Amino acid sequence: MATQLWAVSLVVLASLIGAFGPILLKKASAKRLSKLSSLAANYPLFGGVALYAMGTLLFIPALKGGDLSVLYPFVALTYIWVSLLSVKFLGERMNRLKWAGIALIIIGVSFIGIGSQ
């Protein structure tokens, strides 16, 4: 089965949406989680879980449009999104080693995409 462009696009979108999950979970971790009442009012926690779930739910229909061996490596883009979003929303810094890791992920995903044609 040839992998369709809409399926790849949907997986990339799902990875982007899912990448906001860890950002919100990180923000949720800064809040007090020892009491049930504080847990219930921890909106970043629920938002992070919801975004993870939304990313997964978008991934499922994309599987109809192509080979799993081609689509699943695109999930690795989540690591790139999380790194970039962490800089923007959490004030984290990127160093050369992190940039090299991002470059390797892009190269790896590109090889899989090229190899599937």
What span, in angstroms and rounded, lies between the C-alpha atoms of 55 and 30? 24
Give the pLDDT confidence score for residue 40 in this predicted structure. 76
Summarised one tens digit per residue, pLDDT across range 38-87 is 777 789 999 999 999 999 999 999 999 988 988 998 899 999 999 999 99
Task: Give the H or E element holding residue 55.
Answer: helix 43-62
Task: Give the H or E element holding residue 38.
Answer: helix 36-40
Q: Where are the domains of the chain?
A: 5-115
Q: Which amino acid is at 33?
A: L
Two structure tokens written together for 110: 């590109």
Task: Give the H or E element holding residue 98.
Answer: helix 96-115
Whole-prediction pTM: 0.85
The residue that leads in pLDDT, 101 or 32, is: 101
Q: Which amino acid is at 53?
A: A
